[in-house]
Amino acid sequence: MSGFSYPFSLHNLALLSDWLNENGELYVDVYWAKSGHSGTAFFIHSLQDLKSLVASSQTMTGHWITIYFTVLRQLQFPLRGIANEELLERALKQIPDNQPFEIVYLRYFPEMRNHGDGGKNHSDLRREFTEVSGELICIGQEPDVESENLGSKVNEIFTVSFKQDSASSMSKNQDFYEPYAKHPEHYQWIEELWRV
């Protein structure tokens, strides 16, 4: 594989494809170190979305200095729906009082995940709900994508960082996926999709 797809091997893409098939979406956090851009996150539905995200990430900075991709397997912000009384009641039952939460608009790539409003208790939740009434939202806790031990959670998180300078380097928390190694023919479509 060549071009902008190089941070992801076919093993990585097969893994992410299977994760997508489990939940229908992935949460992808992108951080450009030392570029003047901060990190941002996206909900993606397909590997085509991921491919476009990688390409647009390079376009946003002109070139990558150091870029980090963190992909979370599990559904983030799991309480979802139109902000109405029914969703508020579900949220009040599922989120303990005095537990931090965040409300974000549910938008998929190419839109960035917005940094919505949040709070720390049920009073905040009720107040914030009035601000988003009628909107398609999701509620949950901000994912921790900066923890030191992320790399060890290979069944839940995929991380890759790429540093481009005089001595380019790449680091991943995993680069082998047994289902791909045993049956690469099941993932042939991925190679065709990511071929540049």
Instruction: Tell me the pLDDT tens digit for each residue of 47-88.
Output: 999 999 988 876 655 555 788 899 999 999 999 999 999 999
Side chain identity at residue 48, one-letter code: Q
**Structural domain boundaries, residue 18:** 3-74+145-194
Residues 67 and 40 in one domain: yes
pTM over 0.85: yes
For residue 39, give the nearest of 52, 23, 53 by alpha carbon.
53
Residues 64 and 110 in one domain: no
In the chain, what percentage of residues exceed pLDDT 90? 65
Q: Where a domain ends, among 100, 121, 140?
A: 140
Q: How many domains would you assign to the chain?
A: 2
For residue 46, give the nearest of 1, 108, 139 by alpha carbon.
108
Residues 35 and 124 in one domain: no
Q: Where a domain ends, among 98, 113, 140?
A: 140
Residues 62 and 159 in one domain: yes
Q: Where a domain ends, among 96, 113, 140?
A: 140
pLDDT score for 57: 77
Tell me the C-alpha distance between 143 and 29, whole Å: 9
2: confidence class by pLDDT, cuts 50, 70, 90:
very low
Residues 10 and 67 in one domain: yes
Mean pLDDT of the chain: 87
Residues 7 and 61 in one domain: yes
Separate counts of helices (H) and strands (E) for the chain: 6, 9
Residues 166 and 113 in one domain: no
In the chain, what percentage of residues exceed pLDDT 70? 84
**101-105 sheet: strands from edge to edge:** 79-82, 136-140, 101-105, 118-119
Residues 83 and 57 in one domain: no
pLDDT score for 3: 42
Tell me the C-alpha distance between 158 and 90, whole Å: 31
Residues 97 and 125 in one domain: yes
Residues 26 and 113 in one domain: no
Q: C-alpha distances in angstroms, 30 versus 42, 80, 181?
A: 8, 23, 27
Residues 8 and 69 in one domain: yes
Residues 158 and 131 in one domain: no
